[in-house]
Amino acid sequence: MTADDRYEQGMAARRAVLGDAWVDRSIARRNAFNTEFQEMITRIVWGEIWTRPGLDQKTRRCMVLATMIALGRWEEFKLHVRAGLAGGLTVEEIKEIILQSTLYCGVPAGNHAIGEAEGILRELGLLPDPAGPTTPSP
């Protein structure tokens, strides 16, 4: 497979996982300084890794979410929460990823992740608005 073929395969995978709107915005931000970087991640991350047959897409999505929690990469975490939901992950699965990751990454990381995910889920109408008291009961 040529580098151009790998790029095209990567672009298709990138669009399938992140959505056309996100990818189009990334492409629109290309310039003389970052074009090679964008091409490299499309070709290698998306064209070589995300398209490998050894793991299904759902497993890869779960792994990315857990990795973003571990590294504290919150912008990427939020991107992949949205992409995961669009790609078939359930609210319950995202919650379980956060709970599992909290054990290995620590409570501060889990606390941040649950807050970020909850905000997205509320925004998308997947969680009801908070009800009841906003302070803990004695």
CA distance 92 to 62: 12
Average pLDDT, the chain: 94
Query: What's the whole-number mean pLDDT along residues 57-75?
Result: 98
Identify the structural domains of the chain with CATH numbers, from first to last: 1-52 (no CATH), 55-129 (1.20.1290.10)
pTM of the model: 0.88
> What does the pLDDT look like over 18-55, one tens digit per residue?
999 999 999 999 999 999 999 999 999 999 999 999 99
CA proximity to 42, closest of 55, 57, 30, 54: 30
